Amino acid sequence: MIPLDTAEKWIANYQAFMSSLYKQDNSGAMVPLTESEILNGFTYRTEDILSVLGIQRNKLPNNVPHIRGYIGMTSTSPVTYKLLLLAAVNASLDPKTGVTSAGIDAYFKAMQNNRLKLNDENDGFVLDLNYPCPTLCPDPGNGKKP
């Protein structure tokens, strides 16, 4: 877990990097990405995440049906990309159209009884339990390690 203010800095770093990128428009001119073209985050169904882990959803409580993921980036060299995870309360997803309601981000407070507890306030911690793997992950599409 990392403090919310650290997560916000990493997300801002990534957003600033993305806003410095350009694309080619229809006339061939290079133009900056628009705000709507810059990725803000992902909303996942908790059921999908648990399925990846081989856990049957019906065996767990249904208190967090959605998870939000934001991309962050450290400012130190070498730059490290981060996937920051937290609960998304009152979000809703439609399988055909995507997110129909973003809901609100819910931050975590310290562990209680060996479980993460959601914080009722606009402060707390964000999960950073991931490591980028440019040299360890398989090539996209072939499922094999390099």
Cα 126 to Cα 4: distance, rounded to the nearest angstrom: 6
**Cα 70 to Cα 16: distance, rounded to the nearest angstrom:** 14
pLDDT (average), residues 1-20: 90
Look up the pTM and report it.
Answer: 0.76
Please name which of 81, 80, 53 lies closest in space to residue 67, comparing C-alpha atoms. 53
Share of the chain residues as helix, strand and coil, in percent rounded to the nearest 5: 20, 35, 45
pLDDT of residue 116: 64
User: pLDDT tens for residues 45-101?
Assistant: 888 888 887 877 666 666 778 888 999 999 888 888 889 988 888 888 887 877 788
Of 145 and 140, the one with more pLDDT? 140
Q: What is the 8-class DSSP label of residue 26? A: T
Report the alpha-carbon distance of residue 1 to residue 129 in Å, rounded: 7
CA distance 56 to 47: 8
Mean pLDDT of 103-108: 82
Report the pLDDT value the prediction gives residue 146, as an integer from 0 to 100: 46
Query: What are the domain boundaries of the chain?
Result: 2-21+32-126
Q: Per residue in 123-140, pLDDT tens?
A: 778 888 677 666 667 666
